[in-house]
Amino acid sequence: MSRLASKPTARDVAAEPVRVGLLGLGTVGCGTITVLCRNREEIARRAGRRIDVIQATARDLKKKRACPIDGIELVADAEKIVRNPKIEIVVELMGGYEPARSLVLSAIAAGKHVVTANKALIALHGNEIFRAAQAQGVMVAFEAAVAGGIPIIKAIREGLAANRIEWIAGIINGTTNYILSEMRDRGADFAEVLKEAQRLGYAEADPSFDVDGVDTAHKLTILAAIAFGIPLKFKDGYVEGIAHLTRADVAYAEELGYRLKLLGIARRAPNGVELRVHPTLVPERRLIANVDGAMNAVLVKGDAVGPTLFYGAGAGAEPTASAVVADLVDVVRTLTTDPTNRVPHLAFQPDALVDLPILPMTDVRTSYYLRLHAEDRPGVLADVTRILGDLGISIEAILQKESAQGENTVPIIILTHPVMEQSMNTAISRIEGLAAIRGRVVRIRLEHLHADWH
């Protein structure tokens, strides 16, 4: 081993530690302290200075914590931390919109750099926060906000900077991927698996954010901004969760050679940007279709590099801490850099963002899985296929299942080729109007994710 590698550099030892204030001592807060303690020397060698958490806050300061907090002063009033002149970096790991937003803005106003894992905060208030940070010349780093431990922000913002990004499709919520995987593998019950995801620390404080697709939409909003150089536009996207999915849909998808995943898709279209979150059938031969449990994966298609796939743990204490600490190291390394020469918060220079519209869902073109329940008599299928044909909707596959015992309807599964959502809406309402069709038509979107999709 060389001398250089075996000895700590003089710079580490001599330099003053960087003092950090931590807002939140939950799953990620404690994971961050644990990783900072365990890898203290290695991290200092990378950052060039030691990183010390000197103050922290939580709601209940008496609660027993899952990490070593000796030597950290616990402070009830978070404002004292963000205004402490000794603190250079504030790490926000409380979650939610308030008081996180006010505290982050206070920290920025006090000239502190900020690291956060809070995707809800960045997706909704990021434009305001980055403007304030730009004016103060401080950094706001948020790698942990998207896809847990996968360094996807850095990859898109820096590693793929040569490319025109064409589309992104990602499994970016560990909780829902865990639920769908367990439903498929064990035939497990939705509510039971959700409880397990909460116990493992994957779920949000309000798990409806996970289940209803909102957490995925927060993360997708951030990815779209850094990929396309647009402002954060959470409110304009389409969001649909997984609560309505049945084990039957998971099984039928499987039978047809597909896996059911909650995907976040951001795609450049000629007249704007598609920003959509919904359950999606993905061909089982795609690598992303085989991402199971709480793992995340993000497919990014750049015009120069082609499709790239980033895979790793999307939630949990230490995987998320890995991203938080990487941001801390990045901030420490750039403490001496001229603020105007830093990597821009949203990848593109603040005066070079373009305000592309987010397309309404009716203007999105995609393939579909339809499940309908029809009376088992001649001519019904012909009526359904005529409706689709009249609207120019081409069928890829049809599967008719046996009727359940005691029922006189049969489930029919139809896969279509790509069509505009507007036409599919018309087709579904006409099909639901047929006398032989019972109940609502279940619609799940299907994407082939071909390398040449653009």
Sketch the per residue contact string, 200 through 219, with ligand HSE: x for CB under 6 A, - otherwise. Answer: --xxx-----x----x----
Question: In angstroms, what is the minimal distance from the CB of 429 to ligand HSE?
Answer: 34
The torsion of the CA quartet 122, 124, 127, 131, rounded to 10 degrees, works out to -70
- By CB atoms closer than 10 A (0-12, 13-18, 19+), residue 159 is middle
- Tell me, by CB under 6 A, how many residues bind ligand HSE: 11
3-state secondary structure (DSSP) of residue 56: strand
Judged by CB under 6 A, the stretch of 15-23, 39-47, 167-175, 343-351 that binds ligand HSE is: 167-175
Give CA angle at 144 (241, 90), nearest 5°.
Answer: 125
Assess 148 for contact with ligand NAP (CB under 6 A). Answer: yes
Question: In angstroms, what is the minimal distance from the CB of 172 to ligand NAP?
Answer: 10
Residue showing tokens 């084990």: 247
**Binding-site partner at residue 210 among ligand HSE, ligand NAP, none, CB < 5 to 8 Å by type:** ligand HSE
Element (H, E) at 422: helix 421-432
* Among 112, 154, 219, 301, the one annotated catalytic: 219
Site residues (CB under 6 A) for ligand HSE, limited to 175-204? 175, 202-204
Assess 173 for contact with ligand HSE (CB under 6 A). Answer: yes
- Please identify which residue in 133, 315, 364, 410 interacts with ligand HSE, judged by CB under 6 A: 315
Which tokens sit at 104?
Answer: 């982050």
End-to-end alpha carbon distance in the chain? 49
Assess 27 for contact with ligand HSE (CB under 6 A). Answer: no
Report the residue count for the chain: 454
Question: In angstroms, what is the minimal distance from the CB of 210 to ligand HSE?
Answer: 5
Q: Residue 161 corresponds to which amino acid?
A: A
Question: In angstroms, what is the minimal distance from the CB of 203 to ligand HSE?
Answer: 5
Question: In angstroms, what is the minimal distance from the CB of 43 to ligand HSE?
Answer: 22
> H helices of 138-259, where?
152-154, 174-186, 190-199, 208-211, 214-228, 247-255
d(CA 230, CA 213): 22
- Tell me, by CB under 6 A, how many residues bind ligand NAP: 28
d(CA 211, CA 193): 12
Is residue 80 flagged as an active site residue?
A: no
Site residues (CB under 6 A) for ligand HSE, limited to 45-104? none
Of residues 279 and 302, the one with the C-beta less far from ligand HSE = 279
* Angle between helix 174-186 and helix 247-255 axes, rounded to 10 deg: 70
Of residues 95 and 307, the one with the C-beta less far from ligand NAP = 95
Assess 26 for contact with ligand NAP (CB under 6 A). Answer: yes
> H helices of 234-297, where?
247-255
Judged by CB under 6 A, the stretch of 163-171, 252-260, 271-279, 314-322 that binds ligand NAP is: 314-322
Of residues 99 and 418, the one with the C-beta less far from ligand NAP = 99
Element (H, E) at 22: strand 18-23
Instruction: Give residues with Cβ within 8 angstroms of 335, minimum separation 6.
Output: 18, 88, 113
Of residues 178 and 258, the one with the C-beta less far from ligand HSE = 178
Assess 118 for contact with ligand HSE (CB under 6 A). Answer: no
> H helices of 15-118, where?
27-38, 40-47, 78-83, 100-109
- Please identify which residue in 201, 213, 302, 411 interacts with ligand NAP, judged by CB under 6 A: 201
- Please identify which residue in 130, 142, 202, 238 interacts with ligand NAP, judged by CB under 6 A: 202
Q: How many Cβ atoms from other residues are within 10 Å of residue 400's Cβ?
A: 14
Assess 318 for contact with ligand HSE (CB under 6 A). Answer: no
Site residues (CB under 6 A) for ligand NAP, limited to 57-116? 57-60, 63, 78, 93-95, 99
Q: What is the DSSP letter of 394?
A: P
Of 427, 402, 426, 425, nearest to 413 by C-alpha is 402
**Interface ranges with ligand HSE (CB under 6 A):** 148, 173-175, 202-204, 210, 215, 314-315
Instruction: Kindly list the catalytic residues.
Output: 219
